[in-house]
Amino acid sequence: MLHYEHIDQTSDFLRTALDPVPDVAVVLGSGLGDFAEGLADPKALAYAQIPNWPVSSVVGHAGRLVAGHVGTRRVIALSGRSHFYEGHTMDAVTFGTRVLGHLGVKTVILTNAAGGINRSFASGALMLIDDHINLMGANPLVGANEDRFGVRFPDMSEVYSARLRDLAEDVAHRMGLSLERGVYVGVSGPSYETPAEIRAFRTIGADAVGMSTVPEAIVARHMGIEVLGISCITNMASGVLPQPLVHDEVMETARRVRGGFIALLEGIIGRL
């Protein structure tokens, strides 16, 4: 159950610890945590040090909050997230997003490692999320609505900001970096999808699949936060290639593309 008091307590702790509080946040997916290591003047807190903050146990998630600078812009980076498949409730999965909104963060960049459904995508491609399909079997807004966060029935016609997508595309073009665009389908995991499921997802318009991001994006929009989503296509989805899927491949591909990924994030933040 969502407890406003817990989010308020955590926010008060971070206001003191991070003063001044940044207004831009980046959530880093599996294997993508190196961005946080490059922040200037960093202040890092392990999630275990932050009151009420849920801790992730997934390989590739450092499990810490880092506040620092990209150029003159002050940024919060969440290096790792909690997942629904770990047994966390949706309230726990989106706790960090709630805290960010309560702190006054206006813009959040959600990143993830995803499986490529669109056959034109290459492993290691970066994809701007144009929209999502929620097939996780749950919605983080189910239950009593907290009116201090947002309305009971929030609009989801533009979850991922068109303004930020255009900005990201312009940054990538100026860098000479190829950037795909597509629809992300969120599933609960933790098992990878079957080839039949991937064929079904392709039929309904999905370009990439993953086990995160969707709940955070919904809660962010509920709180009026502007959202940009970026997927790193770390592997082709089940049935696209004649080989089994393993998490090691996800981590290795993320390491391979980290330079371009970090440069893109820094370029986008510099233009906000």
| Predicted confidence (pLDDT) per residue in 13-49, tens digit | 999 999 899 999 999 987 788 899 999 999 999 999 9
Reduced DSSP (H G I as helix, E B as strand, rest coil) percent helix, strand, coil of the chain, to 5: 35, 25, 40
Give the model's pLDDT for residue 5: 94
pLDDT tens readout for residues 81-103: 999 999 999 999 999 999 999 99
Of 38-52, 126-140, 226-240, which gets the smallest average pLDDT? 226-240
d(CA 43, CA 66): 6
Q: Give the Cα separation of 223 and 147 in Å (integer).
A: 10
Burial of 269 (0-12, 13-18, 19+ CB in 10 A): buried
Is the whole model's pTM more than 0.75, yes or no?
A: yes
DSSP classification of residue 85: G
Q: Are 217 and 110 in contact (CB under 8 A)?
A: yes
Distance between CA atoms of 98 and 54, rounded to whole angstroms? 12
Is the domain covering 82-271 a CATH 3.40.50.1580 domain?
A: yes
* Contact of 90 with 142, CB cutoff 8 Å: yes
Q: How large a percentage of the chain has pLDDT more than 90?
A: 79
